[in-house]
Structure 1
Amino acid sequence: MRKVIRDKYFEGERSLYGIEDAVLDSITFGYGESPLKETSGLDIKNTIFTYKYPLWYSNQINVVNSTFETMSRSGIWYTNDISIKNSNLQAPKLFRRCSKIELDHVFFSNAEETMWSCNQIKITNSQVNGDYFGKDSSDIYLENVDIIGNYVFDGANNIECHNCHFVSKDAFWNCENVKLVNCSLDGEYLAWNTNHIEFINCSIKSDQGLCYINDLKLENCQLLHTGLAFEKCSKIKAEITNEVDSIKNPISGKIHAHRIKTIIIDPEKVDPQATQIISDLPVFERIDHSDTNQEAK
């Protein structure tokens, strides 16, 4: 029979160190580091974590209806196979070097430097607030997730997002293999230095975004107030349904937009024939040299 611990208050370092195959219900972990270090097979319900490092080197952890308070920072590191549902995650740096993470209906109030160097991540129906979320992580699936915070998923790979909303400067930098479907993005300098990224039915607002990308696909997308796009991008396949402010020095591929205000091509930097650029309505201005005050970041 599984051990059940209910309606208890614990404090002090490593208060339930190494406990296995147990149910923790309506517990408060007060002052004291690492209360559940090196644990496994836990069902945690209606529990409050108030202090640092609650779940390190743990395995097979299920958490529901619980709270990680602000000082439970650096809370879940080196942990594998963890599920958290219907919970409030208030502390920064909460996940680090973990694998097989499943989150549903969670709220990150301060996700600064959270979910770093993790893999096999699934997040659904959740909200995330904080900079540098998901840095250097891999095998990520998001659905119905809102993220507000700069530099999201810097250096991450194998990312798939559905029905998500991002308000993030410099999102998806230095990434590999990214797919976004029915998503909206609002930020600056989107996806620089990324290899293979595709947007399907997305709305994108990005100041000088989508540059220095290899293998870029946009299908039935809007680029809102986006200027100097596609600089030094190669293997472009872009179908854009609205007016694009300006396009600058793409390397290769095909760009089709409803209207393009300005096309800037410097033949000393790119081959003008390598990219097919089609505008349904007349282009307002074409600049075939580098003499422009609108320079890259």
Structure 2
Amino acid sequence: MKKYQDQYFEGERPLFAEADAKITGTTFGKGESPLKESRNIDLEHSIFKWKYPLWYSKHVTVNHTIFEKIAHAGIWYTDDLQMTDCSVQASKTFRRSSHLTLTNDHFSNAGETLWNCDHIKIDHVQANGSYFGMNSHDIYIDHLDLIGNYAFDGAKNVEVHHSTFVTKDAFWNCENVTIYDSVINGEYLAWNTKNLTLINCTIESDQGLCYIDHLTMRHCRLLETDLAFEYCQNIDAEIDSKITSVKNPISGKIHAKSIGQLIMDSTKVDPAKTTIITDTKTTKEKSA
């Protein structure tokens, strides 16, 4: 294996199509695509200062490495990459890439990151930026702390554990999403999604959980969540708290501690198709 130690490169494509190399303590300065088309690269304790560091690469490990702000659109069309203990200031870091493992990484500007990617594993990652994970699929997440709106729009086959999302319009237009033991804070959660399961989650969402087909909830708490379940169908929800208000669910069952206000407009939905059960009789019903 070829070794690069404590070196500095600049200019366009300085290590184009490099293969079977270990790169340590190296800085890639001004110049696009320093490792484009690379193969079998072991990269550690290095710095990328410019655009498009790892395009069309395969079989790459990146450890303790910094991607500065101008190193945006850094990893596109790449397959089989592991990134561990990295600090990423750049946006748009992953696009149309496959088999990605991200561990103990920090993305300070994660806007438009992880778009159209697949087979992703995220473990103890912090990210700040909107449109994270758009149109990606086959994703396993454990301990993701994400701040930024429109997270995972259009994602499919997502499993989440022990995570925190501060994001409005999260999980829109998704299919097959299961979230365990997590906290979600943000307006308009999960509209237009199919097959959403939430287990042991705490949720605060203005007009959250609407327009969903097949929604399952177990041991969840809804904090100040109003106008929930509008036009949802095939609901199976067990809520361990009060719901501020429920509006026009299409079908299924909702069991909660109490519901502050239940709105069932018979000109919009058939109330008989939804079973509402509360543990305390505090529900105030409105016909519209």
**Which of the five TM-score ranges fits, normalised by the shorter chain?**
over 0.9
Residue number in structure 1 paired with 2:11: 12
Residue number in structure 2 paired with 1:21: 20
Deviations 1:66-91 (A, max 9, x none): 00110000010000000000110110
Residue number in structure 1 paired with 2:36: 37
Residue correspondence of structure 1 range 217-232 to structure 2 within 5 A: 217-232=216-231
User: AA paired with 1:243?
Assistant: K
Q: Distance in 2 between matches of 1:257 and 1:190?
A: 19
Task: Normalising by structure 1, report the TM-score.
Answer: 0.96
Q: Distance in 2 between matches of 1:132 and 1:283?
A: 39
Cα deviation for residue 145 of structure 1 reads: 1.0
State percent identity of aligned pairs: 52
User: AA paired with 1:242?
Assistant: S
Q: Secondary structure at the match of 1:188?
A: coil
Pairing 1:239–2:238 present? yes
Cα deviation for residue 144 of structure 1 reads: 0.9
Q: Secondary structure at the match of 2:240?
A: strand
Residue number in structure 2 paired with 1:163: 162
Pairing 1:144–2:143 present? yes
Deviations 1:103-143 (A, max 9, x none): 00000000001100000000101101000000000001110
Pairing 1:216–2:215 present? yes
User: AA paired with 2:175?
Assistant: E
Residue number in structure 1 paired with 2:280: 281
Q: Distance in 2 between matches of 1:57 and 1:83?
A: 15
Q: Secondary structure at the match of 1:102?
A: strand
Residue number in structure 2 paired with 1:133: 132
Q: Distance in 2 between matches of 1:284 and 1:99?
A: 49
Q: Secondary structure at the match of 1:43?
A: strand
Q: Distance in 1 between matches of 2:78 and 2:10?
A: 22
Q: Distance in 2 between matches of 1:101 and 1:45?
A: 17
Residue number in structure 1 paired with 2:75: 76
Deviations 1:173-211 (A, max 9, x none): 000000000000000000000000010000000000000
Q: Distance in 1 between matches of 2:205 and 2:12?
A: 47
Unmatched runs of 5 consecutive residues or more in structure 1: 291-297
Q: Distance in 1 between matches of 2:118 and 2:283?
A: 46
Cα deviation for residue 11 of structure 1 reads: 0.3
Residue number in structure 2 paired with 1:88: 87
User: AA paired with 1:247?
Assistant: V
Cα deviation for residue 268 of structure 1 reads: 1.1
Q: Distance in 1 between matches of 2:133 and 2:199?
A: 22
Unmatched runs of 5 consecutive residues or more in structure 2: none
Q: Distance in 1 between matches of 2:98 and 2:277?
A: 45
User: AA paired with 1:236?
Assistant: I
Q: Distance in 1 between matches of 2:128 and 2:236?
A: 32
Cα deviation for residue 232 of structure 1 reads: 0.3
Residue number in structure 1 paired with 2:259: 260
Cα deviation for residue 284 of structure 1 reads: 3.4
Pairing 1:203–2:202 present? yes
Pairing 1:173–2:200 present? no
Q: Distance in 1 between matches of 2:4 and 2:67?
A: 19
When the two chains are superposed, the root-mean-square deviation of aligned CA atoms in Å is 0.5
User: AA paired with 2:204?
Assistant: K
Q: Distance in 1 between matches of 2:200 and 2:283?
A: 26
Greater per-residue strand proportion:
1
Q: Secondary structure at the match of 2:208?
A: coil
Cα deviation for residue 283 of structure 1 reads: 3.0
Q: Distance in 2 between matches of 1:256 and 1:193?
A: 22
Task: Normalising by structure 2, report the TM-score.
Answer: 0.99
